[in-house]
């Protein structure tokens, strides 16, 4: 076995430091330094080295049909070598781009490892993409190779061109069967060294407000950058880690590839056809899952069950994707004695902010900056403040240095000109506030926050109050144009189960929210409707805002819309509109 290089030693030393201080945030944050890497290939230098004679499970996939298959580190190392050789024989070369569109099947992980070994840039794609989405990715992503399954292959029929086609578990003319890769040599020789700065991943973001951006990551920024994610989740060697996420999205790479394998943990997948909370909980118990990361939507479904009746082996529970509501955290804490620890990051970065193990958690807060990240909140004038846009200093003059987990940049012209990297900061587009103890609380997207009567309203804060109501499954809050107040908060709500969208239910929700929010944040209008979402499941508030603007201009309103001022039952001394803010404003006012 070749001697370990200085770059690999630097990576492992940084990893081991965080593992040793997994519950000592003060020391970890103060003393952690990103490793300085020149030559580094995570699949060859870390995964394959870890896989030598290692029969521990690296990946375990359980399915609804009862199948249960584990793949050891040694087995995945060998199989990915075969896939790399097969792709090379089909013409894949260093720097080429390969679009990977598969569900949670072993071939997904084999292909990722194979491409890293080859120096081929992976372009992850969700199987939910349409032919039009794929056309955009081919045009702007310069795709030269595709790996997909039979369901995905039919979407490429209208995309002619000289690109390699590899198909999993199916057989179509013009496509090479993926299974033939397992017939070639398992000995792999790289064609040269991999620079840590070489491109490795190209993501198309989910586009909540515009056309997807092209986000480029390197052989250092995501594999090594996810040491911060490993630290936030609290992963250790031997863990069985389940990240409820689908391939194609950054969160899948975060917690279903790099963070767990950085720690030497087993990646667990329960590949269900339809989400069922009882079956998910049974699987967590039966398969001995020790660490679980799930989006808020899943947690909200799980708390509908009797959690205390499940004898779990869980040690760590986490959530990311969108901020988690305090009500959900409290119910899991009461049932399991575990605190769901929120975390924050983006496709453009690894985990930036979080509540790591062993640290006090403040209700509603995302936590504090994670090791390797310095966080500055920039106000409307671009000055550091206690509330403002979450930003990462890129230079020593701004109080920090570029974090390793940050993308190289955007590749599309429109995003490059957007100013995200201007002024010595990377600006995330997310607004937050920081308290005296350094805890950061999410306020909303910079383009979602709005003003009503000169007060600043965070949709998330109002939505958090709404979904505490037993009948509200999901909610999205946007400004609704108002002649007197510029705008008022309007909630679009999805009801649970068989609940009917009646006047009585609307009145109940209005009353419920009045008891939980100050007057200026109170919901003034409510509509029962489905919420528009991106294919990654994020609510498109921009679409709802535009709908309200169109309706206002046309003098229209929603079919199932209710307005607070139309309920005589709510007209009491406390139901009047709040006083206009004074010249001094308030904590919520933008000055």
Enumerate the domain spans of the chain.
36-57+71-221, 450-570
pLDDT value of position 418: 60
Q: Tell me if residue 329 falls in helix, strand or coil.
A: helix
Domain 450-570 falls in which CATH fold? GMP Synthetase; Chain A, domain 3 (3.30.300)
At residue 541's C-alpha, the angle toward residues 508 and 319, to 5°, is 80
How far is residue 342 from each of residues 295, 357, 458, measured CA to CA in Å? Answer: 10, 11, 18
pLDDT value of position 134: 93
Whole-number CA gyration radius for the chain:
25
Taking the C-alpha atoms of residue 214 and residue 149, their distance in angstroms, rounded to an integer, is 24
Taking the C-alpha atoms of residue 263 and residue 20, their distance in angstroms, rounded to an integer, is 12
Query: Dihedral angle at the C-alpha atoms of 539, 542, 547, 550, nearest 10 degrees?
Result: 180
397-435 exposure pattern, b = at least 16 Cβ within 10 A, e = fewer = ebebeebbbbbeebbbeebeeeebbeebbbbbbbbbbbe
Taking the C-alpha atoms of residue 522 and residue 466, their distance in angstroms, rounded to an integer, is 10
pLDDT value of position 590: 24
By residue count, the chain amounts to 591
Query: Dihedral angle at the C-alpha atoms of 551, 552, 554, 556, nearest 10 degrees?
Result: 60
Strands across the sheet containing 525-528: 472-482, 486-495, 525-528, 561-563
pLDDT value of position 3: 62
CATH of 36-57+71-221 among 3.40.50.300, 3.40.50.2300, 3.40.50.12780, 3.30.830.10: 3.40.50.12780
Classify residue 249 by its DSSP letter. S
Taking the C-alpha atoms of residue 207 and residue 537, their distance in angstroms, rounded to an integer, is 11
Taking the C-alpha atoms of residue 23 and residue 355, their distance in angstroms, rounded to an integer, is 10
pLDDT value of position 144: 98
Domains 36-57+71-221 and 450-570 share a fold: no
pLDDT value of position 415: 58
pLDDT value of position 591: 19
Taking the C-alpha atoms of residue 538 and residue 531, their distance in angstroms, rounded to an integer, is 10
| Nearest alpha carbon to residue 495 among 524, 530, 471, 460 | 471
Per-residue pLDDT of the chain (591 residues; tens, 9 = 90+): 556 799 999 999 999 999 999 999 999 999 999 999 999 999 999 999 999 999 999 999 999 999 999 999 999 999 999 999 999 999 999 999 999 999 999 999 999 999 999 999 999 999 988 898 899 899 999 999 999 999 999 999 989 899 999 999 999 999 999 999 999 999 999 999 999 999 999 999 865 445 688 999 999 999 999 999 999 999 999 999 999 998 998 999 999 999 999 999 999 999 998 999 999 999 999 999 999 999 887 998 899 999 999 999 999 999 987 777 788 899 999 999 999 999 999 999 999 999 999 999 998 899 999 999 999 999 989 999 999 999 999 998 877 889 999 999 999 765 565 678 888 999 998 999 999 999 999 887 777 878 787 577 878 889 988 999 999 999 999 999 987 777 899 999 999 988 999 999 999 999 999 988 878 789 999 999 999 988 777 888 889 999 999 999 999 999 999 999 999 999 753 433 333 332 222 222 221
Taking the C-alpha atoms of residue 122 and residue 143, their distance in angstroms, rounded to an integer, is 10
pLDDT value of position 536: 73
């Amino acid at each position: 076995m070749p001697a370990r290089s200085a770059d690999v030693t630097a990576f492992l030393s940084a990893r081991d430091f965080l593992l040793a201080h997994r519950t000592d945030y003060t020391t970890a944050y103060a003393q952690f330094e990103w490793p300085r890497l020149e030559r580094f290939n995570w699949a060859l230098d870390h995964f394959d080295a870890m896989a030598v004679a290692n029969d521990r499970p690296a990946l375990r996939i359980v399915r609804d049909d009862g199948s249960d298959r584990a793949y050891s580190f040694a087995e995945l190392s060998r199989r990915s070598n075969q896939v790399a050789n097969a792709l090379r024989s089909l013409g894949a070369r260093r720097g080429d781009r390969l679009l990977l569109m598969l569900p949670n099947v072993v071939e997904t992980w084999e292909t990722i490892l194979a491409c890293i070994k080859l120096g081929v840039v992976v372009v992850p794609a969700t199987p939910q993409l349409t032919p039009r989405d794929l056309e955009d990715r081919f045009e702007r992503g310069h795709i030269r190779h595709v790996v997909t399954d039979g369901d995905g292959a039919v979407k490429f029929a209208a995309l002619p061109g000289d690109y390699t086609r590899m198909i999993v578990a199916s057989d179509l003319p013009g496509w090479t069967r993926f299974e033939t890769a397992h017939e070639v040599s398992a000995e792999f020789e790289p064609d040269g060294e991999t620079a840590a700065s070489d491109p490795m991943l190209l993501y198309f973001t989910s586009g909540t407000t515009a056309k997807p951006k092209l986000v480029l990551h390197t052989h250092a920024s995501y594999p090594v950058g996810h040491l911060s994610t490993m630290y936030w989740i609290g992963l250790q060697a031997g863990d069985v880690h389940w990240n409820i996420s689908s391939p194609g999205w950054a969160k899948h790479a975060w917690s279903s590839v790099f963070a767990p394998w950085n720690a030497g943990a087993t990646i667990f997948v329960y590949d269900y056809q339809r989400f069922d909370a009882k079956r998910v909980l049974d699987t967590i118990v039966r398969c001995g899952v020790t660490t679980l990361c799930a989006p808020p939507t899943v947690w909200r479904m799980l708390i509908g069950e009797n959690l205390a009746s499940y004898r779990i082996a869980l040690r760590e529970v986490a959530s990311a994707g969108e901020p988690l509501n305090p009500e959900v955290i409290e119910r899991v804490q009461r049932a399991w004695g575990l605190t769901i620890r929120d975390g924050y990051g983006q496709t453009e970065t690894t985990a930036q902010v979080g509540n790591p193990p062993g640290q006090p958690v403040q209700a509603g807060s995302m936590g504090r900056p994670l090791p390797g990240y310095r966080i500055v909140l920039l106000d409307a004038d671009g000055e550091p403040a206690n509330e403002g846009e979450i930003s990462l200093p890129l230079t020593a003059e701004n109080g920090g240095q570029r974090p390793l987990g940050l993308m190289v940049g955007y590749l599309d012209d429109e995003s490059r000109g957007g100013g995200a990297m201007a002024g010595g900061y990377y600006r995330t587009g997310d607004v937050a506030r920081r308290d005296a103890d350094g805890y950061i609380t999410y306020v909303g997207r910079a383009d979602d926050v709005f003003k009503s009567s000169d007060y600043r309203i965070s949709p998330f804060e109002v939505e958090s109050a709404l979904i505490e109501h037993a009948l509200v499954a999901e909610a999205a809050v946007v400004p609704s144009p108002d002649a007197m107040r510029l705008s008022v908060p309007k909630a679009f709500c999805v009801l649970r189960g068989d609940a009917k969208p009646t006047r009585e239910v609307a009145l109940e929700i209005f009353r419920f929210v009045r008891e939980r929010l100050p007057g200026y944040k109170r919901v003034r209008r409510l509509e029962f409707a489905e919420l528009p979402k991106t294919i990654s499941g994020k609510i498109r508030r921009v679409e709802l805002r535009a709908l309200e603007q169109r309706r206002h201009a046309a003098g229209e309103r929603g079919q199932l819309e209710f307005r607070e001022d139309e309920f005589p039952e709510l007209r009491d001394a406390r139901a009047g509109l709040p006083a206009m803010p004074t010249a001094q404003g308030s904590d919520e006012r933008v000055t």
